[in-house]
Amino acid sequence: MKTDLASAVEALRAGKLVLLPTETVYGLAASAADARAVAAVYAAKGRPSFNPLIAHVADVAAARRVARFDSRAETLAAAFWPGPLTLVLPVADASAVCDLARAGLDTVAVRAPAHPLARALLQAFGGPVVAPSANRSGRPSPTTFAAAVEETGDSAAAGLDGGPCEVGLESTVVALLDRPRLLRPGAVTRAEIEAVIGPLADAEADAKRSPGRLARHYAPDLPVRLDVEIPRPGEAFLAFGPARHDRLFQLSETRDLAEAAANLFAHLRAADRSGATGIAVAPIPHEGLGEAINDRLKRAAGFVG
């Protein structure tokens, strides 16, 4: 696999796939305009059904060519871009994002990532790029280049090694179709968004609009138990706060939610292959980033209907 920027740009132009580092997680990228390349992304991930993808762009000017921006979208983009916030908006008239990438919807998800290598690639390529998390469908998202290569590297012609992802959790997805709705909690917290545009309605009230919210998702192979104070012998333990255990994976000894988010998927992966009988996870507070962490943990355990 080629690992330089020029080869990655060339791969996108040729309709091939690229492992793309972002500040949240690694993505499996393709030109959003190229339906065959987008189909190859779905196939590489083994997505059970077509689930719309996020169009990644270099900046807000590029986003306006893809989606119809209203004043709320302008305000949120000004506050959080480049960064881990995805906006679901009506698709623009001459949008380059193909139907398949949008799963046939008349809406489109768009974000401008902050990672310098992602920005460099988007600028050099010059068009929107789809990039779902680079894991095979249902598995934890990769937060290192090595994990991304292991998950979907076979299908990529090029990949950029951007080091470990700073945030470690996917972007927050907000729909601005009627009233603002939180479709997926993520790296930008609900409180941070509400401080800018006021109250967010919940996705649950609008399940049809968030097709990607599968019950079992982000899941390792081993069974996962949540809210565990004392793990069983043989289990791997994802701790939050000081703890002692044989197979200990410390999310954050000082109970720092940002540190726990950054460690979450890498620890789930490591625990999965530690030879344990199962994975027990300590209780994590629900405030701030804890909302997104608990969302991913519930799905890893298969608890969301």
* 189 near ligand TXA, rule: CB under 6 A: no
* 109 near ligand TXA, rule: CB under 6 A: yes
Q: Which is nearer to Mg ion, 31 or 133 (CB)?
A: 133
* 296 near ligand TXA, rule: CB under 6 A: no
Q: Which is nearer to ligand TXA, 133 or 252 (CB)?
A: 133
Q: Residue 269 belongs to what H/E stretch?
A: helix 257-272
* 22 near ligand TXA, rule: CB under 6 A: yes
How would you label 147-168 residue by residue, b for 16+ Cβ within 10 Å and e otherwise? bbbebbbebbbbbbebeebbbb
Q: Which option in Mg ion, ligand TXA, none does residue 52 bind, with CB closer than 5 to 8 A by kind? A: ligand TXA
Phi/psi for 72 (5° steps) reads: -65, -40
The residue range among 64-72, 169-177, 261-269, 293-301 that interacts with ligand TXA, by the rule CB under 6 A, is: 169-177
* CA nearest neighbour of 111 among 175, 162, 47, 168: 175
Q: Which is nearer to ligand TXA, 223 or 302 (CB)?
A: 302
Half-sphere exposure of 150 (CA within 13 A, CB side): 11
The residue range among 87-95, 115-123, 131-139, 156-164 that interacts with Mg ion, by the rule CB under 5 A, is: 131-139
* 53 near ligand TXA, rule: CB under 6 A: yes
Closest approach, Cβ 294 to Mg ion, in A, equals 17
* 52 near ligand TXA, rule: CB under 6 A: yes
* 184 near ligand TXA, rule: CB under 6 A: yes
Cα distance between residue 119 and residue 170, in whole Å: 17
Closest approach, Cβ 184 to ligand TXA, in A, equals 5
Please, which of residues 231-270 interact with ligand TXA by CB under 6 A?
A: none
Q: Which is nearer to ligand TXA, 109 or 122 (CB)?
A: 109
Joined together, the tokens standing for residue 226 give: 């949540």
* 18 near ligand TXA, rule: CB under 6 A: no
The site map against ligand TXA for 122-141 (x = CB under 6 A) is: ---------xxx--------
For the chain, how long is the longest CA-to-CA vector? 58
Helix axes 71-80, 190-197, angle to 10 degrees: 130
C-beta nearest to ligand TXA: residue: 212
Nearest 10 degrees: Cα torsion 121, 157, 109, 42: 180
Q: 3-state DSSP call for residue 174?
A: strand
* 133 near Mg ion, rule: CB under 5 A: yes
* 210 near ligand TXA, rule: CB under 6 A: yes
Q: Which is nearer to ligand TXA, 164 or 278 (CB)?
A: 164
34 and 190 in contact (C-beta within 8 Å)?
Answer: no
Cα distance between residue 225 and residue 231, in whole Å: 9
β-pairing, 27-31 with 107-111? unpaired
Q: Residue 172 belongs to what H/E stretch?
A: strand 172-175
* Site residues for Mg ion per CB under 5 A: 133
* Site residues for ligand TXA per CB under 6 A: 22, 24-25, 27, 51-54, 84, 86, 88, 102, 105, 107-109, 113, 131-133, 170-171, 173, 183-184, 209-212
